[in-house]
Amino acid sequence: MKKHLLFAALAWLGAATLTASAQTARKHELPKLPYTLDALAPKMSRETLEYHYGKHYKAYIDNLNALIPGTPYAGLSLEEIVVKAPDGPIFNNAGQSLNHQLFFLGMSPEPQTQPGGALAAAIDRTFGSFEQFKAQFAKAATGVFGSGWAWLATDKAGNLSIKTEANAGNPLRSSLIPLLGLDVWEHSYYLDYRNRRAEYITNYWDLVDWKVIDERYDRR
């Protein structure tokens, strides 16, 4: 009898432990967009948003949620996973989840069209002018071979730099803070621009909301 009670207690403890670890696994969510799926058209069409936001981005988050339970990454934020995970499926899906969050939440149908405040001054100081920054950034983004990202990044002190990354790369991997990330994977532009990446990049400037990018710089 006593033995049975002991087994019952152990079974209950085991179940309770499993429940506790399941609760500490963070569920990453697809963020709601602050605009409708057709709001960025014609520069970024509804169909592109349906696939890019609704399928590609969602798949990265779903994959991540399936991969992390029972790993050291279960309770971590996207940023923490991107810094800590070795190259591999968990890093790839966390990186892409974070990259797409920065990309989609950094655009608006009614954007602030230029940087302001401290970021505007830093861009002028670093690149000469906003126009020169855009030209250098576009050249970097155009030159990414295959799938990847172009980034405007900063360090803690506020020093800016343009970086390019392959695949799911993010400046956090080299201790920099991402401010602006442009997706140059073909899935981001092929429906609207076919192979014309340069035209996609030119039109992207009309969608960037510098109010959001200013805030990221001020929060760094």
Question: Residue numbers of the site for Mn ion (CB under 5 A)?
Answer: 183, 185, 188
Q: Quote the DSSP letter at residue 107.
A: B
Query: What is the rounded CA–CA span in Å between residue 138 and residue 120?
Result: 18
Least distance to Mn ion, CB of residue 184, Å: 9
Among 159, 193, 188, 190, CA closest to 176: 159
Identify whether the C-beta of residue 156 lies closer than 8 Å to the C-beta of residue 176.
no
**Of 134 and 187, CB closest to Mn ion:** 187
Least distance to Mn ion, CB of residue 21, Å: 32
**Of 107 and 119, CB closest to Mn ion:** 107
Least distance to Mn ion, CB of residue 183, Å: 4
* Helix residue ranges, H only, 46-185: 46-51, 58-67, 78-84, 89-104, 117-127, 130-142
Least distance to Mn ion, CB of residue 115, Å: 24
**Of 183 and 192, CB closest to Mn ion:** 183
**Of 53 and 127, CB closest to Mn ion:** 53
Nearest position to Mn ion, beta carbon: 183
3-state secondary structure of 81: helix
Query: What is the rounded CA–CA span in Å between residue 190 and residue 66?
Result: 28
Q: What are the tokens at 37?
A: 């799926």
* Phi, psi angle pair for 189, to nearest 5°: -135, -10
Least distance to Mn ion, CB of residue 163, Å: 17
Contacts of residue 15, defined as CB under 8 A and 6 or more positions apart, other chains included, come to none
**Of 101 and 188, CB closest to Mn ion:** 188
**Of 165 and 183, CB closest to Mn ion:** 183
Least distance to Mn ion, CB of residue 174, Å: 21
